[in-house]
């Protein structure tokens, strides 16, 4: 017998719940997995995403904190410094996103292929005209499977963050080809011991803010399961699933929630599952 999750989402994705480590936010939506392992399963039969403002929208799975690590990237020395503790606690401004030096930034790693970041930015990047880029660790999309792994810049993404706007949730939904993402191994990234065995995404300020780099209180990672590149205003967008034994199986993660390029009080998710 199917069950129903019917929920309004006024946030871009999770909002700024600022939970303690290993606490799944209420805004994660439909709970589906174990917080200590991130393992769970839902059989999705179908549903709809209601989108008030025209633009991108979709359904995303939140990964458990136990699956995620994060830290700062110094481009001049190509060095990662782990700061997972600050990325997953509730303290304001203790995780550095960017500096006033060109091409510095941050890296997030996850045990599962991922392409979504929800960042609770508490101090905006300020000064100058900053430019940001987004990369995944893996092989180039135009290369062979045997191509050398490295940082692959993705120039066009579904949703990118407004790092210079007032403090709020920053949502990134990358166009990452998961088949080309490769787990980090020892010696791939200097200082990257906590990234070994994980997939990784890097965000840099290639043209750095000149006054304030920007910082955050909390970071969450996830993956989109369904996306609408250009949903119409006030539209109902179907989510593919299946009936009975043919229902779509969703493994992993600790929550299912809709996401949007533009937040609105009446954005809404309806799903049927078993």
For residue 114, the model assigns a pLDDT of 96
Locate 113 and state its tokens.
Answer: 């292929």
User: What value does the mean pLDDT take over residues 121-134?
Assistant: 98
Residues 210 and 245 in one domain: no
Distance CA 217, CA 209 (A): 19
Strands (DSSP E) contained in the chain are: 3-8, 30-31, 41-51, 55-62, 68-74, 79-82, 95-96, 105-110, 116-123, 131-138, 150-153, 168-173, 199-207, 215-231, 235-239, 248-251, 255-260, 268-273
Contact assessment for residue 178 and residue 115, using Cβ atoms and an 8 Å cutoff: yes
> What is the rounded distance in angstroms from the CA atom of residue 200 to the CA atom of residue 67?
12
Cβ atoms of residues 7 and 49 within 8 Å: no
Provide the pLDDT for residue 250. 86
Is 136 in the same domain as 24? no
Cα separation, 143 vs 152, in Å, equals 11
Average pLDDT taken over every residue of the chain: 93
Residues 134 and 253 occupy one common structural domain: no
User: What range does the domain containing 174 cover?
Assistant: 65-221
- Residue 144: the pLDDT is 62
Higher pLDDT residue, 31 or 156?
A: 156
By three-state DSSP, how is residue 223 classified?
strand
pLDDT at 245: 59
Q: How many CB atoms lie within 10 A of CB 206?
A: 15
Tens digits of residue pLDDT in 222-269: 999 999 999 999 999 999 876 665 678 888 899 999 999 999 999 999
- Say whether both 53 and 70 belong to one domain: no
139 and 208 housed in the same domain: yes
- CA separation, residue 84 to residues 124, 134, 193 (Å): 20, 20, 12
Note the pTM of the prediction, 2 decimals: 0.95
Contacts of 22 (CB under 8 A, 6+ apart): 35, 36, 64, 65, 66, 88
Residue in the structure block whose two tokens are 């191994």? 185
- Domain total for the chain? 2
* Residue 174 sits in the same domain as residue 113: yes
Percent over 70 (pLDDT), the chain: 96
pLDDT value at 71 more than 90 = yes
How far is residue 256's CA from residue 225's CA, in Å, rounded to a whole number?
9
Q: Which CATH number characterizes residue 155's domain?
A: 2.60.120
133 and 94 in a single domain? The answer is yes
In this structure, the answer to whether residues 123 and 189 fall within a common structural domain is yes
């Amino acid at each position: 017998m199917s069950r129903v999750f019917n929920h309004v989402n006024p946030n871009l994705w999770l909002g700024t719940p600022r939970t303690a480590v290993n606490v799944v936010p209420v805004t994660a939506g439909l709970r589906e997995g174990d917080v200590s392992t991130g393992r769970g399963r839902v059989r999705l039969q179908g549903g709809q995403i209601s989108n008030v403002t025209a633009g991108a929208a979709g359904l995303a799975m939140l990964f458990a904190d136990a699956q995620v690590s994060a830290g700062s990237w110094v481009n001049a020395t190509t060095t990662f410094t782990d700061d997972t503790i600050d990325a997953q606690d509730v303290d304001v401004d203790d995780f550095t996103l960017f500096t006033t030096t060109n091409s510095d930034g941050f890296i997030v790693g996850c045990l599962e292929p991922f392409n979504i970041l929800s960042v609770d930015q508490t101090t905006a990047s300020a000064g100058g005209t900053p430019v940001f880029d987004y990369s995944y660790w893996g092989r180039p999309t135009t290369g062979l499977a045997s191509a050398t792994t490295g940082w692959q810049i993705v120039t066009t993404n579904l949703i990118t963050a407004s790092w210079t706007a007032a403090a709020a949730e920053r949502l990134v939904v990358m166009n990452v080809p998961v088949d080309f993402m490769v787990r980090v191994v020892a010696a791939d990234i200097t200082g990257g011991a906590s990234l070994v065995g994980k997939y990784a995404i890097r965000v840099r300020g290639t043209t750095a803010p000149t006054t304030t780099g920007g910082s955050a209180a909390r970071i969450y990672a996830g993956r989109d399961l369904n996306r609408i590149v250009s949903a119409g205003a006030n539209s109902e967008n179907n989510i593919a699933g299946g009936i009975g034994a043919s229902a779509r199986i969703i493994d992993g993660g600790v929550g299912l929630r809709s996401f949007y390029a533009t937040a609105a009080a009446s954005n809404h998710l309806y799903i049927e599952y078993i």
